[in-house]
Structure 1
Amino acid sequence: MKVFQFHLQKVLDVKEKEKEQAEWDFGKSIQRKNEEEWKLGQLHELHEEATGMLHSVQAEPVSVAHLMEITRYRQSVERSIHNQKQMVYGCVREMERCQMLLTERMKETQLWHKLRERAHGQYLEAEKQREQKEMDEIGTQLYLRKSN
């Protein structure tokens, strides 16, 4: 009995590699989004600290320059928060794109696996018929020998 060989195995291998790459890219996009969200959290903490400083300084007599410096710092942190939110949004969009690509690659790979399974089933059926034909031939030969 000869060994089954899927004639489109190289295509299946390529599709498997594409799926693995899509999984890798999706994982990296999740990691990047998490890192950017952590940075955003850090900026929110800085904003809270700056707001707390501003409130505590307002209760004490301080120079206008010091008050303006804290205000500018707080505004700078707010701009950074805005920019970081844009970064997180971009990461979420990239993650969604990677997820869609991964889903597509998984469907393609599944389709090629089904084709391989179907071809394997046809191979097994053909082998079964060939073996049955050989058995019938052997039976016929034995019958003819006994008849003579």
Structure 2
Amino acid sequence: MSPRRKRIFWIVGALMTLALVTFFVVNAFRQNLVFFYSPTQVINGEAPHGRAFRLGGMVVDKSLSRASDGVSIRFVVTDTDQNIPVQFRGLLPDLFKEGKGVVAEGSWENGIFTATEVLAKHDENYMPPEAQDAVNKAHQKAAANKPKP
């Protein structure tokens, strides 16, 4: 084999290896991405089935209930347009409160969101931007659908 052919062989081999590594990195990244959805988007079927995603909105007042085992919790998340029941087994963050913003990571099955992680706001005025946007859109939609007197 001539030196020119060896060089071409090594260049093609390096490019193929780079393409293969890039494919595996992008594929792993795509599988580990967790997207945010509002309750309205989940109800409308926009959330993925069989994959984890984040559900965000406000915890409905008086919706929090704890099981007798002390670690199983149920609550409802709303964007003021749609409500999603959430079940969680574990310890809630100290800042978790009814009527406040929350983001729960988990999956949607049989009409219930099963959370594996619950994140709460960090100060009095904070709401995740995605959750605030979802609440604003729901308010706009509700105002547009409100019958005129």
TM-score by length of 2: 0.32
Which structure has more strand as a fraction of its residues?
Answer: 2
TM-score by length of 1: 0.32
Higher relative contact order (CA 8 A, sep 6+): 1
Which structure has more helix as a fraction of its residues?
Answer: 1
Give the number of the structure whose alpha-carbon radius of gyration is greater. Answer: 1
